[in-house]
């Protein structure tokens, strides 16, 4: 009897210890805070908010198969393919963003879906993740070697910080916390502002918007929040905050960022509404047949670029982290082939490489399969 009681008490203690430990971990600032009652009036007015959750206009299940989250995680651990990470450090540049002439109109890919854009004298940063990991903890989902080029200290003053949704690989607590003194304004979808308030950003500097809303950040310079086909949630609770894409529109230039999105009719609707775009930055990596509704394949990204009336396409959601079970460079290869007979220009810059908006091009085309990187791979092989 004493032995049974001892075992029972030990188990009870272990469960209690795990429960308390879990509560302590989940209370850390990095997990953020979901919208509370103070936002319900605003959120309830959104046509996207139904039955207690944000929803896509068309049916968009998280998985397009009968898989569960647990089965996907399990298969990801035990049936992973080869070449999910580069064989050698990736080549990159480090443009001095603080020294740029403000009259220059350029875009700089910071890796994955992170962007620095300088347009009409304004500096915009989108979905910056400058940490070495895209997950709750540093030991999870490490960045590819050679891709951690920039730190928050490298950023100049930021006129507008744009966040597309609350996933860990787009809303990075260490990065936005470090950028706080440099940011003049945050623009984000409904509900995401709760994270920023929890992290010490004043409410007055947060523009929390719905699809179709517009924020003016300068003379003849507007940021439009637009539909995306995705979902949200940092932990177990899903779709309590909205997700979005963005259009940056000035008197002479239009840029579109898809955020994370599966393909859908919203792209042609957006293309028609804005009469095409000079540049589109489109999700085209981390795809999988099991989640085909919420991320695009490279071929679908090409179709989306055509739907949007794009003059130039630069791919996003690739080149820094492994989130899906495909070779790390497969999106670059498939996108190059799929774009061969299109009317738009495909540009795939290195991380940190400045791309002039007046004449978009890369100084090192196909850098993932030629030149310095191939030499590094050969050295590693031998």
Sheet holding 254-257, edge to edge: 214-218, 221-226, 245-249, 254-257, 279-283, 312-316, 345-346
Beta strands in the chain (DSSP E): 49-50, 53-54, 106-111, 114-119, 122-126, 160-162, 186-189, 206-209, 214-218, 221-226, 245-249, 254-257, 279-283, 312-316, 345-346, 354-356
Over residues 229-254, the pLDDT tens digits come to 999 999 889 999 999 999 999 999 99
pLDDT tens digit string along 38-94? 899 999 999 999 999 999 999 999 887 766 666 565 566 556 678 999 999 999 999
Could you give all domains of the chain from N- to C-terminal order, each with its CATH number?
97-381 (3.60.15.10)
Q: Which two tokens stand for residue 264?
A: 């859908």
Alpha helices by DSSP H, 169-235: 173-179, 193-198
Q: Say how far residue 239 (Cα) sits from the centre of its chain.
A: 16
CA distance 363 to 331: 20
> Alpha-carbon distance 30 to 26, whole Å?
9
- pLDDT per residue over 127-168, tens digit each? 999 999 999 888 889 999 999 999 999 999 999 999 999 999
In this structure, are strands 254-257 and 245-249 parallel, antiparallel, or unpaired? antiparallel
- Which residue is it, tokens 């850390």? 28
pLDDT in tens, 270-289: 999 999 999 999 999 999 99
Given a contact cutoff of 8 angstroms between Cβ atoms, the answer to whether 175 and 181 are in contact is: no
**pTM of the entire predicted model:** 0.91
SS (H, E, C) 258-325: CCCCCCCCHHHHHHHHHCCECEEEEECCCCCHHHCCCCCCHHHHHHHHHHCCECEEEEECECCCCCCC
Rounded CA-CA distance 110/94 in Å is: 9
Tens of pLDDT, residues 25-49? 555 788 899 999 889 999 999 999 9
């Amino acid at each position: 009897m004493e032995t049974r009681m001892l075992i029972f008490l030990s188990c009870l203690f272990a469960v209690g210890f795990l429960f308390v430990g879990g509560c302590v971990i989940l209370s850390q600032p990095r997990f953020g805070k979901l919208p509370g009652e103070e936002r319900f009036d605003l959120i309830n007015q959104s046509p996207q908010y139904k039955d207690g959750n944000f929803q896509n206009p068309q049916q968009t299940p998280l998985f397009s198969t009968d898989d569960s989250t647990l089965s996907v995680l399990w298969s990801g651990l035990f049936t992973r393919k080869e070449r999910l990470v580069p064989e050698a450090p990736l080549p990159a540049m480090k443009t001095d963003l603080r020294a740029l002439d403000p009259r220059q109109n350029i875009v700089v890919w910071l890796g994955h879906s992170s962007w620095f854009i300088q347009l009409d004298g304004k500096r915009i940063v989108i979905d910056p993740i400058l940490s070495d990991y895209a997950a709750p903890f540093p030991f999870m989902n490490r960045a590819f070697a050679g891709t951690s080029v920039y730190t928050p200290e490298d950023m100049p003053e930021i006129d507008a910080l744009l966040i597309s949704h609350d996933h860990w690989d787009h809303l990075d607590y260490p990065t936005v916390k470090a950028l706080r003194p440099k940011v003049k304004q945050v623009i984000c979808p409904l509900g995401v502002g709760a994270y920023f308030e929890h992290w010490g950003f004043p409410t007055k500097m947060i523009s929390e918007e719905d699809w179709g809303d517009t924020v003016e950040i300068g003379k003849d310079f507007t940021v439009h929040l637009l539909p995306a086909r995705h979902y949200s949630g940092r932990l177990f609770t899903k779709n309590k905050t909205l997700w979005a894409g963005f259009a940056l529109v000035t008197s002479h230039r239009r840029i579109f960022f898809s955020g994370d999105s599966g393909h859908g009719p919203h792209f042609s609707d957006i293309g028609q509404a804005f009469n095409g775009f000079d540049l589109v930055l489109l999700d085209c990596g981390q795809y999988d047949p099991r989640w085909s509704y919420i991320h695009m394949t490279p071929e679908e990204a090409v179709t989306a670029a055509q739907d949007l009336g794009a003059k130039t396409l630069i791919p996003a959601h690739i080149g820094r982290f492994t989130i899906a079970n495909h070779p790390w460079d497969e999106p670059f290869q498939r996108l190059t082939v799929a774009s061969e007979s299109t009317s738009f220009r495909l540009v795939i810059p290195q991380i940190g490489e400045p791309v002039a908006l007046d004449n978009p091009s890369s100084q090192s085309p196909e850098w993932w399969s030629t030149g310095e990187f191939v030499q590094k791979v050969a050295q590693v092989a031998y």
